[in-house]
Amino acid sequence: MILKPCKIELVTQYKEATTIKEYKKEIFASVKSVARNEFYAAYGVGLRLKHIFVIHSWEFSVADYPVTTEQVTTTYKPTHVRYNGDLYEIVRTYEVDRGQLEITVK
């Protein structure tokens, strides 16, 4: 399978007071199509899978965003991927190989 290289933005959304804020980290990735069986299995439960992005696994953790409030630190993980100007919600991450991570989005 040939993967198409692209740039994506990992978006970490977090709540600060009463507003939703975003932390963004631009990285390189490869994009591939969702497999037919995975697409229809998700469709059967109401999900519309759009893309699978393949990245280095360490890049996902670089997008973690720590927020400290009242001496408590909470670390938020990426929740969305921005690709070609569109924002997609992360459905799952899967470590394919040592050092490679697949991010499935809807």
As for how many domains the chain has, the answer is 1
CA distance 67 to 26: 20
Q: Which residue has 């963004």 as its token pair?
A: 24
pTM: 0.86
Query: What is the band of 1 on the pLDDT scale with cuts at 50, 70, 90?
Result: low
Which CATH number fits the domain that encloses residue 68? 2.40.10
Residues 47-64 have a mean pLDDT of 90
Nearest to 5 by CA among 20, 35, 27, 24: 27
Residues 5-50 have pLDDT tens digits of 899 999 999 888 789 999 999 999 999 988 888 877 877 888 889 9
Residue 57 domain boundaries: 4-105
